């Protein structure tokens, strides 16, 4: 049995089966969550490419599957990535019913996860552009479910920008092959860099191509948007690291790190400033994603082992922060409120747990001390300040813009008198929200215990510092 | 002289069809022009690839056109009212795109040494496709713009890569985009069953 069959073709086939069963949402939720937990568990327990003896039986998962002349390769070093993807999927699918997401969310979500794993696995990895495009096309029905009235500009821009990334990455693959054959051709290096930069700028919604991010977050269901905003940029960031890992000339180019530093800083600064003027909690989440991507780019731009470790340590607070934000917003949305600040006024009276979840998630994403994002952002800013003190101050300023907006949201949801009322949330929703909020506090209090959990992801990138 | 040698004809076909797509406000004409455009794309790619492989582009493109036209409502063929000067403005914008394409083509030819008509055809489709994307907010138009831009890219990419798998996956993306377009048009009228 090959790894690609287990972690790509099995979830994709299951997605088709679950789509057929989508009118039974309870069973679909259970099956999808259990399948993702099972896939994460076998990635954790069974080594790839090594024989495992279970009594008389010998079990071996082959790392490579030949498919139409190309290789789908998932090696032992990719196991942390597989655990990461399928745990996130399980976490998200488990809360889907409580969040009131559409019945198509789980089948399409599972198919998207399998395409994203294929994007990581496919060799040569320029084919990953086509896999990500497939995942983007599959995401449209869950972002714009049947029965919804108007197609928003955010959705169309998302489709346009993500689709335009594909040709640039494919052309970058061709140019990079040329550079490998002729490393002294300066013009070809410049061309490869240009294609690569544009491709990743479209994929990761890097400044100035990020206008769709807050728009889409404001016009679609928060749970779906949270899922996609977590998985798509993470896959693109990991593919970006793979490019840097694979090509020596790229890895050793100081201009790359300078470009990443400026792009990352610009994203944090501009998104922070725009978020300070926001009146919609959905769009605020879009800006949070831009800021998170900006911090990830800043971490890679450090060009050091610590920088790459910071890059992976940013994942855990992001997963929990986005998850809590998405669940809280979905519960408030189900209660008949929109994400406009006006509609959220005094929401904490009726929905205390959902409002607390929303605020704690936003405060953590804003990097408030004692919450999960703070310790790692502090280390990152210290490192950036060593290389460029003024830039670190500007980045901090951008972060403060987001924090101001979060304080405004806090004033809106808590404004007014709090009498003794029955909370509107269901017991399971209260439990999930409480776990999320407490996790963010615990990670903030004990960062050394939790944050290094994802550094295992780096085992796939052997040539990075 | 073979079918693949007459490359000026598909270039003219591609130029004409992109202009119709850009100007027309009637979805029937737009999709017809898109189908014609795929004939030009197939013809240009046939100058680089064997016929059997190049025909994949034509089949996928025509299937995409069929999917898009099947999803359109029967009535209301005219999409939106525009000012009488709009077509003139669009022709002017397309002319500027063509001028830009002709000016950058020699430098592209240095990197991708193939027939210049093929390069001009590819670059023109990319340019006009992008122009189209910048001028519209209607789902059907966005999909047509994306298909146009991707067709142009496919012509350029065919000059540097001959892979059956890539051709197949690109055809899948073309069909996927058409299906997404059809879905975006039909979804508001579909039954809401959360």
A172 and A63, same domain (yes or no): no
A51 and A137, same domain (yes or no): no
A188 contacts B187? CB cut-off 8 A: no
Q: Residue A285 pLDDT more than 70? A: yes
A145 contacts B180? CB cut-off 8 A: no
Please give the Cα distance from A365 to A409 (Å, whole number).
13
Residue A114 falls inside a structural domain: yes
Establish if B192 touches chain A: CB-CB under 8 angstroms: yes
Residue A227 falls inside a structural domain: yes
Q: Residue B74 pLDDT more than 70? A: no
Please give the Cα distance from A366 to A66 (Å, whole number).
45
Establish if B191 touches chain A: CB-CB under 8 angstroms: yes
Full-model pTM: 0.92
Nearest-by-CA chain A residue for B133: A160
A119 and A129, same domain (yes or no): no
Query: Is the N-terminal amide bond of A208 cis, ω within 30° of 0?
Result: yes
A134 and A115, same domain (yes or no): no
Report the range of poorest mean pLDDT among A302-311, A317-326, B2-11, B23-32: B2-11
Interface test with A, best of B107, B130, B184 (most A CBs within 10 A): B184
Report, as an integer, the average pLDDT of A397-417.
88
Please check whether residue A330 is in contact with residue A225, taking contact to mean a CB–CB distance below 8 angstroms.
Answer: no
Quote the pLDDT of residue A142: 93
- Residue among A127, A140, A170 minimizing CB distance to B183: A140
pLDDT-based confidence at A417, cuts 50/70/90?
A: low
Shortest Cα–Cα distance, B105 to chain A (Å): 15
Establish if B134 touches chain A: CB-CB under 8 angstroms: no
Radius of gyration of chain B (CA): 17
Query: Which positions in chain B touch A148 (Cβ < 8 Å)?
Result: 187-188, 192
Please give the Cα distance from A301 to A293 (Å, whole number).
12
Write b or e for each residue in A145-173: b if 16 or more Cβ atoms lie within 10 A of its Cβ, otherwise e.
Answer: bbebeebbebbbbbbbbbbbbbbbbbbbb
Establish if A336 touches chain B: CB-CB under 8 angstroms: no
Residues linked to residue A62 through DSSP beta bridges, in sequence order: A2
The angle at the Cα of B77, spanning B71 to B82, to the nearest 5 degrees, equals 125
Q: Residue B188 pLDDT more than 90? A: no
A202 and A192, same domain (yes or no): yes
Please give the Cα distance from A302 to A305 (Å, whole number).
9
Establish if B59 touches chain A: CB-CB under 8 angstroms: no
Establish if B76 touches chain A: CB-CB under 8 angstroms: no
B193 contacts A23? CB cut-off 8 A: yes
Report the range of poorest mean pLDDT among A216-220, A249-253, A271-275: A249-253
pLDDT digits (tens, 9 = 90+) for A9-40: 999 999 999 999 988 989 999 999 999 999 99
- Residue among A127, A156, A170 minimizing CB distance to B137: A156
A273 and A332, same domain (yes or no): yes
Please give the Cα distance from A335 to B34 (Å, whole number).
45
Residue A433 falls inside a structural domain: yes
User: How many structural domains are present in chain A?
Assistant: 2
Element containing residue A123 per DSSP (H, E): strand A122-123
Last residue of a domain, one of A86, A106, A123: A123
pLDDT-based confidence at B75, cuts 50/70/90?
A: low
Establish if B99 touches chain A: CB-CB under 8 angstroms: no
A134 contacts B165? CB cut-off 8 A: no
pLDDT-based confidence at A155, cuts 50/70/90?
A: very high
Residue A465 falls inside a structural domain: no
Query: Which positions in chain B touch A100 (Cβ < 8 Å)?
Result: 194
- Residue among B157, B168, B187 minimizing CB distance to A146: B187
- Residue among B137, B168, B192 minimizing CB distance to A146: B192
Q: Residue A395 pLDDT more than 80? A: yes
Report the range of poorest mean pLDDT among A62-71, A218-227, A394-403, B112-121: A62-71
B165 contacts A68? CB cut-off 8 A: yes
Query: Which positions in chain A touch B139 (Cβ < 8 Å)?
Result: 151, 156
Query: Which positions in chain B touch A23 (Cβ < 8 Å)?
Result: 193
Say how many CB pairs under 8 Å bridge A and B.
94
A95 and A130, same domain (yes or no): no
Shortest Cα–Cα distance, B1 to chain A (Å): 31
Please check whether residue A104 is in contact with residue A57, taking contact to mean a CB–CB distance below 8 angstroms.
Answer: no
A416 and A450, same domain (yes or no): yes
B142 contacts A159? CB cut-off 8 A: yes
Element containing residue A238 per DSSP (H, E): helix A222-246
Q: Residue B84 pLDDT more than 80? A: no
A68 and A91, same domain (yes or no): yes
A196 and A267, same domain (yes or no): yes
Establish if A127 touches chain B: CB-CB under 8 angstroms: yes
Establish if A159 touches chain B: CB-CB under 8 angstroms: yes
A69 contacts B157? CB cut-off 8 A: no
Angle of helix A128-143 versus helix A153-181 axis, rounded to 10: 170
Establish if B165 touches chain A: CB-CB under 8 angstroms: yes
Establish if B164 touches chain A: CB-CB under 8 angstroms: yes
Shortest Cα–Cα distance, A272 to chain B (Å): 27
Last residue of a domain, one of A89, A123, A157: A123
A148 contacts B188? CB cut-off 8 A: yes
Interface test with A, best of B172, B188, B191 (most A CBs within 10 A): B188
Query: Structural domain of residue A443, as residue ranges?
Result: 124-460
A146 contacts B180? CB cut-off 8 A: no
Establish if B168 touches chain A: CB-CB under 8 angstroms: yes
Quote the pLDDT of residue A404: 94
In chain A, % of residues over pLDDT 90 = 58
Establish if B52 touches chain A: CB-CB under 8 angstroms: no
B184 contacts A148? CB cut-off 8 A: no
Residue A132 falls inside a structural domain: yes
Please give the Cα distance from B138 to B131 (Å, whole number).
14
A218 and A299, same domain (yes or no): yes
Report the range of poorest mean pLDDT among A377-386, A412-421, B182-191: A412-421
A43 and A130, same domain (yes or no): no
Domain residue spans in chain B?
3-71+85-185
pLDDT digits (tens, 9 = 90+) for A355-370: 999 999 999 999 999 9
A68 contacts B168? CB cut-off 8 A: yes
pLDDT digits (tens, 9 = 90+) for A175-228: 888 888 888 888 888 888 899 999 999 999 998 899 999 999 999 999 999 999
B146 contacts A160? CB cut-off 8 A: yes
Query: Which positions in chain B touch A189 (Cβ < 8 Å)?
Result: none
Query: Which positions in chain A touch B150 (Cβ < 8 Å)?
Result: 163, 166-167
A167 contacts B187? CB cut-off 8 A: no
From A390, A388, A376, select the one nearest A309 (Cα to Cα).
A376
Query: Which positions in chain A touch B164 (Cβ < 8 Å)?
Result: 68-69
Last residue of a domain, one of A92, A123, A154: A123
Please give the Cα distance from A121 to B14 (Å, whole number).
37
Is A50 exposed, middle or buried (CB count within 10 Å of its CB: 0-12, 13-18, 19+)? exposed
- DSSP-derived secondary structure letter, A48: B
């Amino acid at each position: 049995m090959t790894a690609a069959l287990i972690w790509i073709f099995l979830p994709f086939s299951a997605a088709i089966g679950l789509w057929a069963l989508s009118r039974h949402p309870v069973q679909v939720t259970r099956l999808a969550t259990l399948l993702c937990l099972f896939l994460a568990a076998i990635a954790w327990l069974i080594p790839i490419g090594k024989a495992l003896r279970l009594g008389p039986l010998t079990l071996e998962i082959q790392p490579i599957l030949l498919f139409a002349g190309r290789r789908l390769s998932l090696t032992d070093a990719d196991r942390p990535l597989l655990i990461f993807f399928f745990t996130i999927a399980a976490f998200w699918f488990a809360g889907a019913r409580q969040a009131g997401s559409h019945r198509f969310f789980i089948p399409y979500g599972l198919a998207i996860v399998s395409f994203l794993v294929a994007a990581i696995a496919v060799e040569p990895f320029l084919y990953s552009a086509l896999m990500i495009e497939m995942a983007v096309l599959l995401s449209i029905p869950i972002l714009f479910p049947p029965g919804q009235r108007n197609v928003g500009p955010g959705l169309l821009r998302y489709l346009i920008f993500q689709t335009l990334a594909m040709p640039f990455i494919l052309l970058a693959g061709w140019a990079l092959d040329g550079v490998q054959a002729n490393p002294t051709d300066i013009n070809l290096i410049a061309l490869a860099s240009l294609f690569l930069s544009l491709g990743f700028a479209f994929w990761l919604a890097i400044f100035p191509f990020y206008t769709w991010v807050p728009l889409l977050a404001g016009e679609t269901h928060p749970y779906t948007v949270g899922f996609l905003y977590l998985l798509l940029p993470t896959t693109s960031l990991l593919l970006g690291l793979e490019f840097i890992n694979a090509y020596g000339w790229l890895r050793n180019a100081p201009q790359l790190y300078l470009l990443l530093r400026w792009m990352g800083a610009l994203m944090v600064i501009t998104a922070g400033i725009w978020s300070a003027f926001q009146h919609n909690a959905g769009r605020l989440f879009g800006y949070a994603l831009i800021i998170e991507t900006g911090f990830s780019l800043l971490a890679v731009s450090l060009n050091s082992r610590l920088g790459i470790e910071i890059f992976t340590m940013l994942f855990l607070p992001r997963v929990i922060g986005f998850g809590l934000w998405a669940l809280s917003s979905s519960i408030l949305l189900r209660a008949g409120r929109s994400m406009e600040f006006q509609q959220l006024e005094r929401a904490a009276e009726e929905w205390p747990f959902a409002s607390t979840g929303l605020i704690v998630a936003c405060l953590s994403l804003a990097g408030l001390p004692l919450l999960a994002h703070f310790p790692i952002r502090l280390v990152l800013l210290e490192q950036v300040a060593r290389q460029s003190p003024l830039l670190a101050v500007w980045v901090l300023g951008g972060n403060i813009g987001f924090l101001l907006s979060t304080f405004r949201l806090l004033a809106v949801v808590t404004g007014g008198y709090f009498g003794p009322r029955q909370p509107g949330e269901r017991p399971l929703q209260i439990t999930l929200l409480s776990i999320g909020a407490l996790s963010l506090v615990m990670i903030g209090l004990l960062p050394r215990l939790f944050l290094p959990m994802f550094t295992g992801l780096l085992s796939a990138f052997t040539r990075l510092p | 002289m073979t079918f693949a040698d007459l490359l000026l004809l598909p270039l003219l076909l591609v130029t004409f069809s992109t202009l119709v797509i850009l100007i027309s406000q009637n979805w029937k004409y737009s999709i017809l022009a898109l189908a014609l455009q795929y004939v030009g794309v197939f013809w240009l790619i046939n100058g680089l690839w064997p016929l059997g492989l190049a025909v994949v582009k034509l089949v996928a493109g025509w299937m995409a056109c069929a999917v898009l036209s099947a999803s359109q409502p029967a009535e209301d063929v005219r999409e939106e009212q525009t000012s009488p000067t709009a077509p003139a403005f669009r022709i002017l914008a397309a002319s500027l795109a063509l001028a830009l394409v002709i000016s950058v083509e020699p430098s592209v030819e240095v990197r991708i040494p193939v027939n210049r008509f093929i390069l001009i055809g590819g670059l023109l489709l990319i340019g006009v496709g992008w122009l189209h994307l910048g001028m519209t907010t209607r789902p059907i138009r966005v999909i047509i713009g994306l298909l146009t831009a991707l067709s142009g890219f496919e012509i350029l990419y065919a000059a540097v890569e001959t892979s059956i798998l890539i051709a197949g996956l690109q055809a899948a993306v073309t069909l996927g985009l058409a299906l997404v377009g059809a879905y975006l048009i039909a979804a508001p009228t579909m039954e809401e069953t959360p």
